Amino acid sequence: MAQPSIHISMFYVVVLLVVTSVLSISIANQIVELEKINKPVVKTINSPDGDIIDCVLFHDQPAFDLPELQDQKTILELPEWPMGYNSSDDTKTLIESFQLWSHSGEECPEGTIPIIRTNNMISFGQKYLPSDGHEYATAFVSGDQYYGARAYMNVWQPVTEREEFSLAQMWLSAGTYVGKDLNTIEVGWQVFPDKYGGNNPRLFAFWTRDAYQSTGCYNLLCPGFVQVNKRIAFGAAITPISSYNGKQFEITLMVWKDPKNGNWWLSFGSGTLIGYWPSSLFTTLKSHANLMTFGGEIVNRQRNGHTKTQMGSGHFAEEGFRKAALFRSLGFVNSSNKLSPIPLPNLKPSSDHPNCYDIKVLSDNVYGTHFYYGGPGKNPKCP
């Protein structure tokens, strides 16, 4: 009578050994991946919010793990700025104060770039796929060829539920989900506690060339984006932030295709280069974008009722200035590398769940083509 019991016990022992082996392999693989991400460090800076900023030599950053970029380690060709884009000397002061880690007064040495240290594979993880409950309140422009986009966006600290995020960004894209050849470049700010830790809004960038299947990543977490700036760190907390019916704080981002070599450059503020995505990363986006999108996005992972995760300020678009989140002075770059305002009739608003998050598109002489967006999520009209 004891024999079946022995067989069952042996079965569980075998299962335990298999599970332990799989976990060991998984942990070992994660360690290898983390070693690839975290490069040799020249200097370390501790941020007040607990982030660790590693100053890494320019030529040691992840992008140069790509064989096709080996020759760009020492030869950096700066881009041709779009016509109509006015740079300013005010940006240096702004970039030294808009991220929390720089408040200590320390900075990365010349010849290095700042990278937030990654300690877990949750941070490494790719963007949630569209089937995972994404909801949007956005405005888009399509029907032409686009070589860049520019937006001013104010920064808020929306409340998020567990395993969810809330962001504001602009997308440049080409290709389709159906064809699995969707290419995107995405930049903005994001609140994502499970990824970064804490509830601070953070500067982020993302890219993919196969509809989020297996290529692309956030920030500098895989070979791709080439950073040239030593004062701006992707994933670092933004400060100060906007307050309801109070002071507003905004960031300005522009992405455009350099007509000289086809790379897609990213700038911050009035004339500060952050870096570029090499044209070799892309397929359908190699030539130009055919869709520009601006606005808010959240992930709703709730199964019983709508999420309470907020978008933007957590208030609806109708509340307007200093109360609702804002994108303003929207612009696009054409094939002649000229930056122009987006005409209001070309901008089409879209909201998946307007009772949860909505959008209102406007135009005037102060903010140009602009819109308010956002909302509280779960409320009496959004149960």
In this prediction, residue 118 carries a pLDDT of 86
**How many whole angstroms separate alpha carbon 193 and alpha carbon 166?**
10
Q: Please, what are the domains in the chain? A: 38-374 (2.60.120.200)
Residue-wise over 187-200: b if at least 16 C-beta within 10 A, else e?
A: bbbbbbeebbbeeb
In this prediction, residue 39 carries a pLDDT of 78
Q: What angle (nearest 5°) sits at the alpha carbon of residue 88, between those of residues 84 and 92?
A: 140
In this prediction, residue 105 carries a pLDDT of 86
Burial label, 253 (beta-carbon count in 10 A; 0-12, 13-18, 19+): buried
DSSP designation for 337: S
Give mean pLDDT, residues 208-212: 96
Element containing residue 5 per DSSP (H, E): helix 3-37
% of the chain beyond a pLDDT of 90: 78
186 counts as catalytic: yes
In this prediction, residue 13 carries a pLDDT of 45
Is the per-residue pLDDT at 127 higher than 90? no
Q: What is the pLDDT of residues 129-164, one digit of tens each?
A: 555 799 999 999 999 999 999 999 999 999 999 999
Q: For all residues of the chain together, what is the average pLDDT? A: 89
Quick one: tokens of 216? 């692309």
Residue 97 confidence class, pLDDT cut points 50, 70, 90: confident
Quick one: tokens of 233? 């760190």
Provide the edge-to-edge strand list for the sheet that holds 43-46: 43-46, 52-57, 112-116
Higher pLDDT, 132 or 85: 85
Quick one: tokens of 198? 């804490």
Which residue among 96, 135, 186, 319 is the active-site one? 186
CB 177 within 8 A of CB 334: no
Is the per-residue pLDDT at 26 higher than 70? no
In this prediction, residue 122 carries a pLDDT of 53
Which residue among 77, 96, 297, 319 is the active-site one? 297
77 counts as catalytic: no
Contacts of 250 (CB under 8 A, 6+ apart): 152, 153, 154, 155, 242, 326, 328
Q: What is the pLDDT of residues 333-348, one digit of tens each?
A: 999 999 999 999 999 9
In this prediction, residue 37 carries a pLDDT of 61
Residue 31 confidence class, pLDDT cut points 50, 70, 90: very low
Q: What is the pLDDT of residues 48-79, one digit of tens each?
A: 999 999 999 999 999 999 988 877 666 688 99
Q: Could you identify the residue written with the tokens 């890494």?
A: 56
Q: What is the pLDDT of residues 263-313, one digit of tens each?
A: 999 999 989 999 999 999 999 999 999 999 999 999 999 999 999 999 999
